[in-house]
Amino acid sequence: MKEISFNFDWKRTLGKKMPWETDRQETTIDLPDDFIIHKKRSPQAVGGARVGYLSDDFGTYEKEFMLPREWEKKPIFLNLDGAYMNTEITVNDHYLGHHPYGYTPYWRELTGLLFFDRKNKISISTQGHQPSSRWYSGGGIYREATLLVGEECYLAPWDLYITTPAAEKEEAKVRGEMWITNTNQENIPAKVRFELRKEGKEAASMERFLELKGQGKTHEIFELPLKNPLLWDADHPELYDASVRIETPHQNCETVSLKIGIRKIQVDAEEGLKVNGRKVTLHGGCIHHDNGMLGAKAFPKAEERKVRKLKEAGFNAIRTAHNPPSKALLDACDRYGMYVIDEIFDCWRIGKNQNDYHLWFEDWWKRDIEATVLRDRNHPSVYCWSFGNEIPEARSFHAEGEYWVKCQADAIRSLDASRLVTLGGMFLPKHLTWDGFPGGVRGPLPVLSPYISEEEEETHFRQMIENLDIVSLNYSYRNYGQFGKYFPGKALQGTETEGIDTWENREAVRKHSFVVGDFVWTAHDNLGEAGAGRSYREEPKEQKGLMGGWPWLTSCQADLALDGERLPRSYYRKVIWGLDKGIYVFTTHPQFTGKPLYGTGFHWHDVRKVWTFSEQDVGKPMEVEAYADCDEVLFEINGKTVAAVTPKEMIAKAVIPYEPGVLCAKAYRNGRFEAEDTIETTGKATQILLVPESDKIRGDGMDLGYVEIFLADDKGRRVFGEEREIQVQVSGAGTLEGLGSNNPCTEEDFTLERRKTFEGKAILAIRAGRQQGTVKITVEAEGLPDAACQILVGERKEG
């Protein structure tokens, strides 16, 4: 089937729109769209800290469009990759139905409802009633929309299933299973070709003549042997182009093409996870679906950028917490090499919010599993399906847990038996834990349900995990040994771990062969769950909950900041994973020397890469720390050694006097110099530096160009602590799509006019137009000369 973009030239109205209303204010927009992100933030927002104090709303999208005559007898589908939520679709006054879940893809057939001699009209409404999410959800059609157009005999994308039952260095077997639809009344003869190509050259192919049965689907399986294949894994993400061509006497050639990877996934309690026969340790991170200043909008470039930056930071695995991701994100994981836990639900029948998915689960769970698995089962990056996270019904004292675990695991395997199946964040029976802390919640659970014995509770847990290929626990590294003792035949993964316990989690994975790795909460900062990673200098008098009050905006608990900048904990993690032989030095402000630091457990040390303090701080003691895999670290100020430290858990800490100039940390092993890192004292901010990530983007109306904005001194060094409000002007062949900073606690809205820098930095994103040309960006700030740069908008990428 042909995929035609359906993203452009929509009219959007906000608020509940009744069919007879014609005087509502319309805004012309292109998809993807999030109509929440630019709304005013408020401490009274109904979703509160969970959604970053942003509001909710209704949104209706309408579009008029013409179709070519040659499509008149062709099957046509509308495919929405995701819209939040309670989506309803009407085409030419025909109501096509309701889709409640805000994260699953779905498609509707339009055949027979469309005109080819006049304009058609489609209306799509969404309603994001908060509180409906535990993180920032956004609102509207926030992922891409496409029209799928086939021939009278066609193969839908979700009706092609490719697996690699054999994947060895010498030979592989690629299995293509397909369900070809024939819309004609009579049987139709067809020639079907299944082909693999690598870098434009044919690698393997097979042709077969079939009789396609009328008014139905013909099921067929092809198996292609492939000599000396290039295997896919996270270190070598080799992709092949797979295609199916259908030729019949009276129609154009029908083709479906996709990217595949040839790889083999295995797991057991003795050897852990193996990919293509090689043991793999997962260095994973959990992510939510938003893209910072863009809100929930899932531009392919934004999703690719997120994956690329996580890969650069050392991650080889992602957990899509706690919902299916966009297709664009999985495409990027395929290309960059990321193992993915594709998670489907955050709740079942028992809700975690008043208006969340629990209202529809019982009627919709099977349809939403089907939508996710059918869309995602050809992605080599997906190694594991998860059908929940910290599910109350799956606690071992709930008798119904086994039923729902089995139902969903069986449903997934009926659609894809080639990947692992898990349930994220399960709860160990409390009496089997080493300290009574079962994980998955902050604080102890009740000792035991009064309605069930310890033996029955353990039996329920065993019955549930018998339906899983791998067990997933959250915040439970202390219990890995206990798990191995009581459940010796099961492999385990840590689906959430706290950043402050990075070393302990790394050691727990290293010591237990049945633990395949862990996923830190979180890998990339996100909107909502606001303030969950905050720290503070005064001990709180009482615990007021995990999340922060107004005006907290982001979770503030990630390795990467909201714009993808690596934070100190990211450098530490990559060092202890053995992926970076360098050294990285950070400092704490002199005013906090010797004072304790408190936090939620999701926080990190209070350090920054700064060596610029006031004159009053000269000579005062200050705390510094450096991350390195070595046996000695020397701290030097202006060439003079001021401390020699033996690292503990790969962190070297010292208290040294502040003196302006250059702070240097040098790493040594066995007396031999290994690496060094420096921080310089900077001058005052005298200029704005604009740093485009690329000087050229595609003129397809969808590509993005990111520009980092820095406050800098005369030598071009980033200046912390002299924050300025900036104003951005954009002209030419693109528009300003987003403007933001990494500030996790601010009263600012995500307007497109102004933003204050944070730690000397801000960022903007340009959306390409659909014509070639140049985009000019000008940034102004009071007291500094204007800065300008240009981005070229080039030809569209075809195909």
| pLDDT computed for residue 542 by the predictor | 63
Which pLDDT score is estimated for 443?
44
Residues 6+ apart with CB under 8 A from 74: 111, 149, 150, 151, 152
Q: What is the predicted pLDDT for the residue at 89? A: 97
Tokens of 144: 């891409």
Residues 613 and 721: their CA atoms lie apart, in Å, by 9
Mean pLDDT of 601-627: 97
Question: What value does the mean pLDDT take over residues 121-146?
Answer: 96
Distance CA 268, CA 492 (A): 9
Residue pair 775/712 in contact (Cβ under 8 Å)? The answer is no
Confidence of residue 444 (pLDDT cuts 50, 70, 90): very low
pLDDT, tens only, 549-586: 999 999 999 999 999 999 999 999 999 999 999 999 99
Question: Hey, how many other C-beta atoms are within 10 angstroms of the C-beta on 645?
Answer: 17
Q: Which range (326-335, 427-436, 514-523, 773-782) has the least confidence?
A: 427-436
- pLDDT over 50 at 464, yes or no: yes
Please give the average per-residue pLDDT across 646-674, as a whole number.
Answer: 98
Q: Which of 326, 323, 235, 328 is nearest to 286 (CA)?
A: 323
Average pLDDT of span 185-192: 97
- Residue 798 above 60 pLDDT? no
Percentage, residues of the chain above pLDDT 90: 91
Choice among 254-268, 434-448, 488-502 with the minimum mean pLDDT = 434-448
Q: Is the pLDDT of residue 446 over 70?
A: no
Say what the pLDDT of residue 450 is.
75
Q: Tell me how far the alpha carbon of residue 476 is from its chain's centroid.
A: 23
Name the phi and psi angles at 6, rounded to 5.
-125, 35
- Once rounded to an integer, what is the mean pLDDT over residues 181-194? 97
652: β partners: 626
Classify 743 as helix, strand or coil: coil
9-18: buried (b, 16+ CB within 10 Å) or exposed (e) per residue? Answer: ebebbbeebe
Q: Where are the beta strands (DSSP E) in 339-456?
A: 339-343, 382-389, 420-424
**Length of the chain, in residues:** 799
User: Within a 10 A sphere around the Cβ of 140, how many other Cβ atoms?
Assistant: 33
What's the pLDDT tens digit per position in 204-256?
A: 999 999 999 999 999 999 999 999 999 999 999 999 999 999 999 988 999 99
> Percentage of the chain with pLDDT > 70?
97
- ∠ Cα 659 665 671 (to 5°): 135
- Mapped onto helix, strand or coil, the DSSP state of residue 404 is helix
Beta 317-320 vs 598-599: how paired, if at all?
unpaired
Distance, in Å, from the CA atom of 764 to the CA atom of 692, rounded to the nearest integer, reads 9
Confidence of residue 438 (pLDDT cuts 50, 70, 90): low
Assign 259 a pLDDT band (cuts: 50, 70, 90): very high
Count CB-CB contacts under 10 A for residue 216.
13
Q: What is the pLDDT of residue 691?
A: 98
Q: Does residue 797 have a pLDDT over 80?
A: no
User: CA neighbours within 13 Å on the CB side: how many for 192?
Assistant: 26
Task: Report the alpha-carbon angle 27-31-34, nearest 5.
Answer: 70
Average pLDDT over residues 66-74: 95
Average pLDDT over residues 651-664: 98
Arithmetic mean of pLDDT, 353-376? 97
DSSP 8-state symbol, 408: H
> Which residues are bridge partners to 711 per DSSP?
688
Higher pLDDT, 600 or 310: 310
**What is the predicted pLDDT for the residue at 795?**
84
- Ranges 122-136, 446-460, 783-797: which has the least confidence: 446-460
pLDDT(396) > 80? no
pLDDT band of residue 146 (cuts 50, 70, 90) is: very high
Question: In this predicted structure, which of 395-399, 424-428, 684-688 has the lowest mean pLDDT?
Answer: 395-399
Whether the link from the prior residue into 551 is cis, omega within 30° of 0, is yes
Q: Is residue 303 within 8 Å of residue 329, measured between CB atoms? A: yes
- Mean pLDDT within 759-764: 98
Instruction: Give the phi and the psi of residue 340 in degrees, each rounded to 5.
Output: -125, 130
Q: Which residues contact 283 (CB under 8 A, 6 or more apart)?
A: 314, 315, 316, 317, 517, 573, 577, 579
CA angle 597, 600, 604 (to 5 degrees): 55
Number of Cα atoms under 13 Å in the Cβ half of residue 556: 30
**What is the pLDDT at residue 636?**
98
Q: Span 398-419, mean pLDDT? A: 94
DSSP bridge pairs for 566: 560
- Would the pLDDT of 543 be above 80? no
Measured in degrees and rounded to the nearest 5, phi and psi for residue 29 equal -140, 160
Task: Give the pLDDT band of residue 440 (cuts 50, 70, 90).
Answer: very low
What mean pLDDT value characterizes the chain? 95
pLDDT at res. 615: 96
439 confidence band (pLDDT: 50, 70, 90): low
Q: How far apart are CA 133 and CA 497, in angstroms?
A: 21
The rounded distance, in Å, linking the Cα atoms of 366 and 214 is 28
Q: CA-CA distances (angstroms) from residue 775 to 468, 689, 785? A: 52, 17, 20
Diameter of the chain measured on Cα atoms: 91
Q: Rounded distance, CA 390 to CA 441, Å?
A: 8
* pLDDT tens track for 703-713: 999 999 999 99
Where b means 16+ CB within 10 Å and e means fewer, 453-481 reads ebeebbebbeebbebbbbbbbbbbbebbe
